[in-house]
Structure 1
Amino acid sequence: MDGLFGAHWATWAAVAGSGVFHGANPAMGWLFATALGLQRGSRAALLLALPPIALGHAASILLFTSSTAALGAQLPAGALHCGLGALLIGWAAWQHVYAHKHRARVGMTVGFAGLAAWSALMATVHGAGLMLMPAMLPLCGGGSAAAANPLEISFAFTVLHTLTTLATTAAIALLAYEYLGLGVLRRGWINFDWLWRGALVATGTLMIATA
């Protein structure tokens, strides 16, 4: 595993970087955690919301990365690249047309299991795991040494990505709770929906171009 990490350091850096990107997206959980803390007037409520949010996100990521690991070991690289690229672009189109009509909403009294389920659903609907699937291919296909252990690679991806997502989510949630408040979203927060869809389309286009 150490040799694999060294040989594919750029891939692992991309996994960590995507965790920062996901953690900064309000839809991935920091907005809900901050709102929960402010509504209850408790930093502890905010912090207690983070583990189930991270667990749900990890479950969604593991589902997609393990699927990619299995497919990468079985299918030709060219067909997999084209299929995955088309899926990413199609998912972005679905997001643009339909996602706003199917927002998952939970109340401020949601428990651990409900919050974890909400987080998993939001990550899945947004295609969070899809964005990691291209990074899996160099490690799980084409005769890679990692192909013999696809689940091990998938688990490592999930752990690294989830830790960076959790760290980013916690940092932004605490910053908003302690200093900025949710008004920062009205004053100058970037439109993550458009940025997210753009990232899906760009990644999908790159996958097809490199097939």
Structure 2
Amino acid sequence: MQSLWPWLAVAAAGALHGMNPAAGWALLAWGGRARAMQALLALAAGQLASVALVAAAVPLALQWQWEFQPLLLQGAAAALLLWMAVRHLRGRRRAAEAHAAVGLWSFIVATAHGIGWILVPALVPLCGGGMPGREITASGSLWLALAAVGVHLAAMLLAAAATAAAVRHAWHAAFRPSPPR
């Protein structure tokens, strides 16, 4: 049971992250199911991009001895998101741009919240501990880290989808006109 706690922590952090309105469930709550599924995929892409950024930047920062500045990438993504919003307001609407905007939003929020960093406390016991499979090679920690990211992302997406569905249901229940008697 002790080796299960880091996995539960990774899943719980993902679920908590998914219930945060800034993480994107509000974007899933409005529109049909097809739109919600497309937005969910865009959210996942943004989250994965943020994790990949941290995973790539940390070794490079250590190797080249420079400080990682996520604000630079966030600023570039925010500028692109702003440009897309202006295009949208000017009437140049495309579905692909809307999904890209959701993905950029997800990337910005995930990077701001530190999605790649939030997993570090749970990854240390998983990747550095004496769990089965760890003794085989040092590269075993890469697969454990990827599995932890997958568990975190799955829990986040499930929580975001469930929260969006609950909000959509509550909204329709509260504001749907009653049939005449």
State the match for 1:15 in structure 2: 10
Q: CA RMSD of the aligned region, Å? A: 3.6
How far apart, in 1, do the equivalents of 2:56 and 2:11 lie? 17
Answer yes or no: is 1:153 the counterpart of 2:144.
yes
| Residue-pair matches, total | 146
Answer yes or no: is 1:117 the counterpart of 2:104.
yes
1:129-154 deviation line (CA, Å, top 9, x unaligned):
22111111123337772743232122
Flag the 1:45–1:170 CA change in 2: closer, same or farther, 3 A.
same
Shift of 1:111: 3.1
State the match for 2:124 in structure 1: 137
Answer yes or no: is 1:171 the counterpart of 2:158.
no
Percent identity for Structure 1 against Structure 2: 33
TM-score scaled to structure 2, two decimals? 0.64
How far apart, in 2, do the equivalents of 1:155 and 1:60 lie? 14
Answer yes or no: is 1:61 the counterpart of 2:80.
no
Shift of 1:28: 0.6
How far apart, in 2, do the equivalents of 1:133 and 1:161 lie? 12
State the match for 2:66 in structure 1: none
Which stretches in structure 2 are left out of the alignment for 5+ residues? 63-69, 72-77, 175-181
User: Conserved in 2, the CA contact under 8 Å of 1:29 and 1:119?
Assistant: yes
User: Conserved in 2, the CA contact under 8 Å of 1:65 and 1:132?
Assistant: no
DSSP-derived class of the 1:169 partner: helix
